[in-house]
Homo-oligomer: A and B are copies of this chain.
Amino acid sequence: MKEQIKTYFNRYVEFDDAEIDAIYEKLEEKIFKKKTFLLEENTICRHNYFILKGVVRLFYIDAKGHEKITQFAIDNWWITHMESFINQIPSSQYLQAVEDTTVLCLSKYNLELLYKEYPKLERMFRLVTENMLIANLRKSDIYLQMKSKERYTFFVEKLPDFAQRVPQYMIASYLEITPEYLSELRRQRN
């Protein structure tokens, strides 16, 4: 487990083993069974989660009572409700395990401690956050340019890791399509 996080961290900034050990000590490993909530609506998100293995979704319930998925995350991704975690305010969304998921929990408190002690970590998260921002901007661009059908083929082709581990109605939700319409799109040849 420590190997996995070490490999990940060193992709961004070089940490020596002592540093990794010290950081690792502040992380708590936890298992969330399928359908378990890592975070519920209206509660403050105290952790940023690093997924060692599994799938997690972030979603909210809309005015009509339907779930709308805004983010998925799998192995080697960080997931949290950003606004809630960063500003320590109540979350408008839920974080839930889509399959049995093992995570490393990094509390806001420990993170701030670590930032003080290891400025390198400031750099790492600056880089990680930049990547998240770019990914997010890219997602917006895709939704802006593509119709439902294209979004679906794009998703299935470009993110097979997700497409295979997540039920179709969740993909529909993430792609901002009703499950019924996605079903119709799939029927149209190809």
Contact = CB atoms under 8 A, between A and B. Distances in A.
A137 B62 contact: no
B82 A130 contact: yes
A86 B134 contact: yes
A131 B182 CA distance: 34
Contacts of A168: none
Interface stretch (A29-37, A96-104, A120-128): A120-128
A144 interface: yes
Interface in A101-129: 115, 119, 122-123, 125-126, 129
A63 to B, nearest CB: 8
B144 A68 contact: yes
A129 B139 CA distance: 17
A181 to B, nearest CB: 16
A86 B137 CA distance: 13
Most buried by B among A132, A133, A138: A133
Interface of A: 60, 62-63, 68, 70, 82-83, 86-87, 92, 115, 119, 122-123, 125-126, 129-130, 132-134, 136-141, 144-145, 176
Given A86-B130, A125-B126, 16 more contacts: A70-B137, A82-B133, A82-B137, A83-B134, A83-B137, A86-B134, A92-B141, A122-B122, A122-B126, A123-B126, A126-B129, A129-B130, A132-B133, A133-B133, A133-B136, A144-B176
